[in-house]
A and B are shown apart, each in its own frame.
Chain A
Amino acid sequence: GAGVSQSPRYKVAKRGQDVALRCDPISGHVSLFWYQQALGQGPEFLTYFQNEAQLDKSGLPSDRFFAERPEGSVSTLKIQRTQQEDSAVYLCASSHGLAEYNEQFFGPGTRLTVL
């Protein structure tokens, strides 16, 4: 079966451009997570959805970051007016969402480079 997929795999943006990163979770997974992984660091939580509801967005670093999951499946992370500090790998993960199935399955990530 298909795992979590993300597109594009690589994105280069000029400073000030808007970007949109897509995540396709595993079919039937209720929960979806976005993480940001800077070079040489561990992933850091950005936001979390359960179905279409965004239950936690405490990790979004600024109001330039926006995430949505309108139909409870595919999710998009949008970054407006990109800055050089936004350069990172953006990881998406999905899980069943039940306590005993809290394992998160990660996608390959989108590497964003802001010039």
Chain B
Amino acid sequence: AQSVTQPDIHITVSEGASLELRCNYSYGATPYLFWYVQSPGQGLQLLLKYFSGDTLVQGIKGFEAEFKRSQSSFNLRKPSVHWSDAAEYFCAAGFQKLVFGTGTRLLVSP
């Protein structure tokens, strides 16, 4: 069965520190991969996506993600976290319909 796993339910990072959110997928073929961010009361906003080609993908708000086929992973990174980055982050995979992970809640401490 197709699935996306985000092993970390909560992560707390100090402002200015680096961030890495983990995502692993299980799919028949390499799917399109996405990271979305959801702030309270807001819809999902796309941060970045991987379709093919360069395995290091740049997104909005200073985020990047690296696709590693051998590990079936698509981890999200940011070199320096800002307080406004506190939100829920979802990894998703698919072609048309998307399969989402359960999300990682990012808390940013001063």
Q: Chain B interface: which size bin? A: 20 to 34
B96 near A102: Cβ-Cβ < 8 Å: yes
A56, A91, A102 — most chain B CB neighbours (10 Å): A102
Query: Which of B41-49, B60-68, B69-77 lies at the interface?
Result: B41-49
A18: Cβ under 8 A from any B Cβ? no
Residue A33 interfacial (CB < 8 Å)? yes
Say how far B66's CB is from chain A's closest CB, in angstroms. 19
Instruction: Determine the distance from Cα of A91 to Cα of B34 in the docked complex, in whole angstroms.
Output: 17
- Cβ of B51 within 8 Å of any chain A Cβ, yes or no, is yes
Contact among B46, B96, B99 for A56, CB-based, below 8 A: B96
Closest residue of chain A to B101 (Cβ to Cβ) is: A42
Tell whether A102 pairs with B43 under 8 Å between CB atoms, given A43-B100, A44-B100.
Answer: no
Q: Are A33 and B41 in contact (CB under 8 A)?
A: no
Structural contact, B103 and A42, CB atoms closer than 8 A: yes
In the complex, the chain B residue whose C-beta lies closest to that of A43 is B100
Q: Which of B51, B98, B101 contacts A104 (CB 8 A)?
A: B98
CB-defined contacts of A93 to chain B, threshold 8 Å: 44
Note all chain B residues with C-beta closer than 8 A to A102. 32, 49, 51, 95-96
In A37-86, which residues have CB < 8 Å from any B CB? 40-45, 48, 55-56, 59
Binding site for B on A (CB under 8 A): 3-4, 31, 33, 35, 40-45, 48, 55-56, 59, 91, 93, 100, 102-109
